[in-house]
Amino acid sequence: MPLSIGQTRIIVHPLALLYPVAAVMLGASTEAAALLLALFLHEGAHLAAAQALGVSIPCLRLTPFGGAMTMDNPYGLSPTRLVAVAAAGPLANALALVVSAALAHWSLLSPAFALIFMQTNLVLLAFNLLPALPLDGGRIAYALLSLKFKPEKALSFGIRMGQFVAAALVCACAALAVKWHRINLSFLFAAVFIWASAGDERQSLSQTHMRAVLGALRPVDRPTPVRLWAVNADCDAHTALRVARPDALTLFAIYKDNRLSSITDDRRLVEAALQGGVGVKVWEAGKF
């Protein structure tokens, strides 16, 4: 039975279920409990902030190295809302760090567990504030940079920083393996996730642009002149849509093997691009 919190579907990676079991077997149950609690507070704060600001979170993936939250149309949000949702997780970890220190000081929490819990929250706080996508710090950096630069440039900065962080994690993993003869799988999992997320981030930004174009297209309520473009069937839909204009209708004559195959319009092409994502071809939108 699928898990869900409100409208958010929870997907648990199989390896994430093995983490608590492995931790108990290795005698690290305290560390595992501290990490799971810190992650719960982090992701819970994201969900609470999103709900309060009317931001849809369709999916939350629980992986061996943490939670991966999927925001609906993140690059269509205002910078203020994007920063608020992204910053909620690290702020929750910062608050947990202070509260656990206070509880330990008042002898309401075991000093040993408080120390581990504080260290865990500090690591999550520092790591997630790195200005690298898809980390929280990367989303905050994008929101701030987008106030001055074009979204594509701000996104490229976040992705490049993410790739730098991924490479640094791999180097750190290799250094630990050489010095201590042990491999930190968490570093490797995080590096792979961050590096592979670049395509998802670009697709999210592209879909935001497509939604903007679709929303700006005027209704056809009377005879209207159109602009006609001939495109190859294998042309990328996103590339073809660069010639579309919100203030005018655009038709695309789709050619395959140098023969007219079909005709489609900008609306159908935008819808195909949104549904198919990056890489969808023009001929896919030409199906009636």
Closest CA to 60 of 117, 7, 105, 123: 7
The single-letter DSSP state of residue 218 is: P
Averages of pLDDT over runs of 10 residues in the chain (288 residues) are: 71 70 70 83 91 85 71 81 94 95 90 92 91 89 90 86 89 84 72 77 67 61 79 84 74 86 81 70 68
With contact defined as beta carbons under 8 Å apart, do 186 and 65 qualify? yes
Contacts of 263 by beta carbon, 8 Å cutoff, 6+ apart? 251, 252, 253, 254, 286
pLDDT at 90: 95
Tokens 């309401």 sit on residue: 108
Is the torsion defined by CA of 256, 260, 261, 266 positive or negative?
A: positive
pLDDT at 288: 43
Cis omega (within 30 of 0) on the bond before 134? yes
Q: Indicate whether this model's pTM tops 0.85.
A: no
Domain 220-285 adopts which CATH fold? CBS-domain (3.10.580)
With contact defined as beta carbons under 8 Å apart, do 258 and 250 qualify? no
d(CA 221, CA 45): 46
Residue type, 93: N
Contacts of 229 by beta carbon, 8 Å cutoff, 6+ apart? 240, 243, 250, 251, 252, 253
With contact defined as beta carbons under 8 Å apart, do 34 and 120 qualify? yes
231, β-bridge pairs: 254
pLDDT at 145: 92
Locate 227 and state its tokens. 């602009």
Locate 96 and state its tokens. 């947990």
